[in-house]
Amino acid sequence: MPHTANRRSFIQAASLAGAALSLPAAQYSRVYGANEKLRIASVGTGGKGWSDLNGVAASPEVQVVGLCNIDSSRAHLGQAAEKYPNARQYADWRKLLDASKDIDGVLVSTPDFMHAPISMAAMHLGKHVFCQKPLSHSVHEARQMQLAAQKYDLVTQMCNQIQSHSAYRTAVHWVHSGLLGKVKEVHSWQGGQPSWPRNIPAPQGSDPVPTTVDWELWQGVAPDRHYKTGMYHPFNWRGWQDYGTGQLGDFACHILDPVFKSLKLGSPTRLTVQAPALLPESWTDRSTVRYEFPGTEYTLNRSIPVTWYDAAGVLPPRERLGSVPTDYKLPGAGSVIVGEKGSMVIPHVAMPTLFPVDQSPAGELPVIEGVDHYTQWADACRGVGQTTSHFDYAGPLTEAVLLGTIGIRFPDQELQWNAKKLEITNLPAAQEWISKSYRNGWEPAWV
């Protein structure tokens, strides 16, 4: 029988979290008075941004002072404006930041390609940042965001919020407490079939821009493109290289997160991707990324292989999953961490299941309670506690994920990575993709 988390013995999150989870570069710019609120602004108030805004604003110590959206319709700016009537409203995030004296922290919930430009501008102004995943659209941007957070001593959090759920915290704890023994390899996968477009040519022609949408502002730093209904804004931008990061970028910052946290992974040393030839503008509908990371205190060897698979219906090879029984129904997305003493299945998103071999410990397995990822950031901004997906953690995680998206452009070729130098050392053509160019007049200021 597998050990599952429903036989739970709750352990005080407070006492264990510190030991089980890695520590941020604690950064607090000032101490807040007891009645003093954290004043926040949200950029991208629709889609996921709506729940980001409400998640942070749920804290009684938070006041919403600014709302920004390029789309004034109800689903985007409208409902936020109704719920937070005292907040100033903007279409252009640059104007929001121009008038941001009373803003302490900014939520960045826009499509991926605008995360870094907006976050960098906010951090240059000394604002704490809560940013959606993946942290950025290029590896260079992720590094810059980490450096900016360090330079200005800011409280940051990437929104891979499942990290704070009981499920992922418990999985991390089980690895740290030695239940699997030293870890030999990891397999992570996303077998879902997304609704957004992939592997298709760029659409021809143009459609009228809805009167509520400022298409120029939506395009921001990206190259100019005609508006097409249902192709980009909202949500479907994910499938286009100029805007999104494909299925890998969409999910790996979640699914690889308990792998990174539990094994304390940093930067890979090399990776090789298997994927079909990429069309010029859209992302692929399948990839396998074979990473090699330096070993850590939790790994058996001096390096550890971590393999990512995405394709509709994909599952990792059963023969690589250690003690997971071959007839066990794997989740549609998740990870298997294979250790010396057993294997742990971490579904995305549900409690982990451990398949112990003979020496499995008797009795119940500890379950770590969840915390609120949004409140954690708001509290940390006010000097209470620390965030766990701060940019010192989320930066390297995002870099690894986005290196995979570069590998998709160079199938079957190994990329050797020098993280310190931010350099793919063996393939100059791949190195070109570490950074990107920006529309004239929209170039971000770097650290």
> Can you give the binding site for ligand NAD, defined by CB under 6 A?
43-49, 68-71, 76, 93, 109-112, 114, 132-133, 159, 161, 217-218, 220, 233-235, 250
Give how far Cα 148 sits from Cα of 31, 153, 260, 276, 395, Å: 21, 8, 22, 36, 11
* Cβ proximity to ligand NAD, 112 vs 185, nearer residue: 112
Instruction: Name the DSSP class of 194.
Output: -
In whole angstroms, what is the distance from residue 116 CA to residue 158 CA? Answer: 12
Question: Which residue, 141 or 250, is less far from ligand NAD as judged by CB?
Answer: 250
Q: Are 394 and 160 in contact (CB under 8 A)?
A: yes
Amino acid at 305: P
> DSSP per residue over 296-322, as a string?
-TTBSSSEEEEEEEESTT----GGGST
Rank residues 218 and 410 by Cβ distance to ligand NAD and give the closer one: 218
Q: What's the CA gap between 301 and 429, in Å, rounded?
A: 31
Distances (CA, A) of 389 to 24, 77, 158, 347: 8, 27, 5, 20
| Beta bridge pairs of residue 127 | none
| Closest approach of ligand NAD to the CB of residue 114, in Å | 5
User: What gap in Å lies between CA 230 and CA 72, rounded to an integer?
Assistant: 17
Distance in Å, CB of 360 to ligand NAD, minimum: 33
149 within 8 A of 29, measured Cβ to Cβ: no
Q: How far is the CB of 110 from ligand NAD (least distance, A)?
A: 4
Between 132 and 388, whose beta carbon lies closer to ligand NAD? 132
CB of 413 vs ligand NAD, minimal distance in Å? 27
Helix (H) or strand (E) holding 80: helix 79-83
Smallest separation (angstroms) from ligand NAD to the CB of 312? 19
- The smaller minimum CB distance to ligand NAD, of residues 304 and 400, is found at 400
Quick one: which of 88, 102, 101, 82 has its CA closest to 43?
88
For the bound state, the minimum distance from the C-beta of residue 194 to ligand NAD, rounded and expressed in Å, comes to 11
Q: Are strands 183-190 and 333-339 parallel, antiparallel or unpaired?
A: antiparallel
Q: Among residues 111 and 404, whose Cβ is nearest to ligand NAD?
A: 111
Q: How far is the CB of 402 from ligand NAD (least distance, A)?
A: 13
Closest chain position to ligand NAD (CB): 47
CB of 179 to ligand NAD, least distance (A): 28
Q: Which is nearer to ligand NAD, 105 or 111 (CB)?
A: 111
- Name the minimum Å distance from CB 103 to ligand NAD: 15
Integer Cα distance of 175 and 302 in angstroms: 17
- By beta-carbon proximity to ligand NAD, the closer residue of 214 and 340 is 214
Nearer to ligand NAD, 76 or 270 (CB): 76
- Conformation bin of residue 412: beta by default, left when phi > 0, alpha when psi is -120 to 50: left
Of 262, 247, 254, residue with least CA distance to 186: 262
